Amino acid sequence: MSANKASLQTTVSDAVELDVARIRQDFPILQQELNGHRLAYLDSAASAQRPAAVIDAISQYYEHDHANVHRGVHTLSHRATDAYEGAREKVREFINAESIREIVFTRGTTEAINLVANALGEQLQAGDEVILTQLEHHSNIVPWQMLAERRGIELKVIPINSAGELVLDGLDDLFSDRTRLLTVSHVSNALGTINPVGELVAAARKRGVLTLLDGAQAIPHTAIDVRQLDCDFYAFSGHKMCGPTGIGVLYAREAVLAELPPWQGGGDMILTVSFSGTTYNELPYRFEAGTPNIAGAVGLGAAVDYLSAIGMARIAAHEHQLLEYATDRITGISGLQLVGTATHKTSVLSFNVDDIHPHDLGTILDHQGVAIRTGHHCAMPVMEHFGIAGTARASLALYNDRDDIDQLIDAIHRAVEMFR
Amino acid sequence: MNAQPTELQDLYRNTVLEHSRTPRNFGRIDDADRQAEGHNPLCGDKLTVYLKIPGDHIDTVHFEGVGCAICMASASLMTEVVAGQSIDAARNTSESVLGTFADPDRDAENLPGQVPALAGVRSYPSRIKCATLPWKTLIQALSGESLIATTE
């Protein structure tokens, strides 16, 4: 019965295709020429662009509603608080969290992971173990290495195969009675691999191990339901999902968050302060010390509204189609090697062409209006696995179309000609 | 803000492409008198400069490593320029080249040998480090310190 319902939803969402031409009009930054060419922005995995609705929401907030939150009795403070807390509610609904008590605003995914590493880290003992993967962004490696140095915990790494997929054969052996956390990216930033997080979370929960999913690269591309994912923590950034930079979210299951000590001290995270003792605020405020990024939250709320109005299922379907088109075209270029060929992928094409260095490729493409990322993508262990210094990475978002892909392909051909 | 020239050929001149394809004096010197390693952590460019200095003058300069076309060409052109120079002269040459790479207003034609071919890099702020790495590494090698040069 539920299967029927799911397939019905898919059919409906596929039937109403995304009107990309109209969506492109929503993004002021895309309406420009770059180096004398139409701009083909293919670097959304690094940072997506913002629709006018997000930019306007931020301006509107600063022009009409700004004051500090949770403090004043005056009208503007009420409005600012309503705007900030309204954004929290939008985020809660977007990821289907049970309560706003589970939504902590942070600077981004990196800070969200650091929050867990610090707060949960306080409760870990030397010899406790954290499982992560070779596919992780540095932001889901370094905080755990720092914790390992500080508290003597051990890190266990799930390896990857030649397609850039996690190898789960030895997973059972990675767990021990000292395993406290499994932390894994939902989607790889460097390769686009969608990890089998359902299986991983289930394996961890069976053993009473907490789970953290780095959702930075998943949240712009697919509907996220934290209750269905069943994870304890889910971290993501505003700027990858058409929201502002400097704002992100840590979702944390309330029962888990309630047991964690605060990690930063200051205003807003307390109820009372005296030199004989301080009492901490309730969730989630206990984890939001200091005046928060109010305008950032407002902008994130507007981004959530924007994406929700379009529908994440339609966005996913559009990007999937475009990825297939792009993969088909790009693999037709002789001398081009795709890096990361997982069966389940989001809209990332990581590649090298002949022996052209990715940075030369990036410069030549930029000259033709094509913006891509080049280098190690903050995932050096992934590059090490493939024995390369870096890749060129084209990443897609809802506003990309076939013209962007065609422009990319033409530009790569130009680079190949130059270096022949 | 956007100081890029309209012509890509200003950056990838034929001399640059040719030297990057077929770098001169490429390879390790096992009995080098001095050597230094350079690393650009942002893009992963990595090279080692080897020097044979039998007396006051540099007899042979070699390099090996991996990097983009700009980095490889810059290293290759460098080995041609400083071979035969005294240690002081090579250091002065390097400082002068680095100064010219850093300042678009300096006359690039005063650069030694075929190094002016690299002057286009000055219009690409994100790529200047690729061109400077070999020269910074050479200075490190000349100083006789076994530290790793980096562009950061």
Which pLDDT does position A136 carry in this prediction?
A: 97
pLDDT higher than 70, residue B152: no
Q: A139 and A86, same structural domain?
A: yes
Asked, for residue A3, whether it belongs to a domain, the answer is no
Q: A93 and A25, same structural domain?
A: no
How far is the C-alpha of A342 from the C-alpha of A334, rounded, in Å? 21
Asked, for residue A1, whether it belongs to a domain, the answer is no
User: pLDDT of A375-385, one tens digit each?
Assistant: 989 999 999 99
Q: A95 and A189, same structural domain?
A: yes
CB atoms A390 and B12 under 8 Å? no
Asked, for residue A4, whether it belongs to a domain, the answer is no
Q: A319 and A291, same structural domain?
A: no
Asked, for residue A47, whether it belongs to a domain, the answer is no
Which pLDDT does position B149 carry in this prediction?
A: 64
Residue ranges of chain B whose CB lies within 8 Å of a chain A CB: 2, 4, 6, 8, 11-12, 17, 21, 42-46, 66-70, 124, 127, 130
Do residues A349 and A395 touch, judged by C-beta distance below 8 A?
yes
User: pLDDT of A179-213, one tens digit each?
Assistant: 999 999 999 999 999 999 999 999 999 999 999 99
User: pLDDT of B41-66, one tens digit each?
Assistant: 877 789 999 999 998 899 999 999 99
Asked, for residue A46, whether it belongs to a domain, the answer is no
Asked, for residue A248, whether it belongs to a domain, the answer is yes
Q: How many domains does chain A have?
A: 2
CATH of the domain at A109: 3.40.640.10
pLDDT higher than 80, residue A251: yes
Q: How big is chain B, counted in residues?
A: 152
Which pLDDT does position B148 carry in this prediction?
A: 58
User: pLDDT of A72-99, one tens digit each?
Assistant: 889 999 999 999 999 999 999 999 999 9
Determine the average pLDDT of the residues in B74-84: 97
Q: How many C-beta neighbours within 10 Å does residue A251 have? A: 28
Closest residue to A357, CB basis, from B2, B42, B68: B68
CB atoms B127 and A36 under 8 Å? no
pLDDT higher than 90, residue B146: no
Confidence of residue B147 (pLDDT cuts 50, 70, 90): low
User: pLDDT of A129-185, one tens digit each?
Assistant: 999 999 999 999 999 999 999 999 999 999 999 999 999 999 999 999 999 999 999
Which pLDDT does position A54 carry in this prediction?
A: 98
Which residues in chain B touch residue A367, judged by CB atoms under 8 angstroms apart?
4, 8
Can you tell me the ipTM of this complex?
0.87
Closest residue to B11, CB basis, from A357, A363, A376: A363
Residues 6+ apart with CB under 8 A from B72: B19, B20, B23
Confidence of residue B33 (pLDDT cuts 50, 70, 90): very high
pLDDT higher than 90, residue B81: yes
**HSE (CB half, 13 Å, CA atoms) of A343?**
3
Give catalytic residues of A, as residue numbers.
Answer: 378
User: pLDDT of A319-375, one tens digit each?
Assistant: 999 999 999 999 999 999 999 999 999 989 999 999 899 999 999 999 999 999 999
**Residue A188, Cα to own-chain centre: how many angstroms?**
9
- A223/B contact by beta carbon, under 8 A: no
Last residue of a domain, one of A308, A335, A352: A308
Mean pLDDT of chain A: 94
Going by their DSSP bridges, the two strands A336-338 and A348-353 should be labelled as antiparallel
CATH of the domain at A336: 3.90.1150.10
Q: A203 and A296, same structural domain?
A: yes
Which pLDDT does position A4 carry in this prediction?
A: 40
Which pLDDT does position A11 carry in this prediction?
A: 44
- Residues 387-416 of chain A whose Cβ lies under 8 A from any Cβ of chain B: 389-390
Last residue of a domain, one of A264, A292, A308: A308
How far is the C-alpha of A108 from the C-alpha of A216, rounded, in Å? 9
pLDDT higher than 90, residue A225: yes
Which pLDDT does position B151 carry in this prediction?
A: 63
The parent domain of residue A340 ranges over 10-41+311-419
Which pLDDT does position B4 carry in this prediction?
A: 46
User: pLDDT of A276-297, one tens digit each?
Assistant: 988 999 999 999 999 999 999 9
Which pLDDT does position B7 carry in this prediction?
A: 79
In chain B, where are the structural domains located?
Answer: 24-150
Which pLDDT does position A395 carry in this prediction?
A: 98
Confidence of residue A17 (pLDDT cuts 50, 70, 90): confident
Residue A18, both tokens? 């995304």
Q: Could you tell me the fold of the domain covering B24-150? A: Sufe protein. Chain: A (3.90.1010)
How far is the C-alpha of B67 from the C-alpha of A386, rounded, in Å? 17
Do residues A86 and A94 touch, judged by C-beta distance below 8 A?
no
Do residues A124 and A147 touch, judged by C-beta distance below 8 A?
yes
Last residue of a domain, one of A279, A308, A337: A308
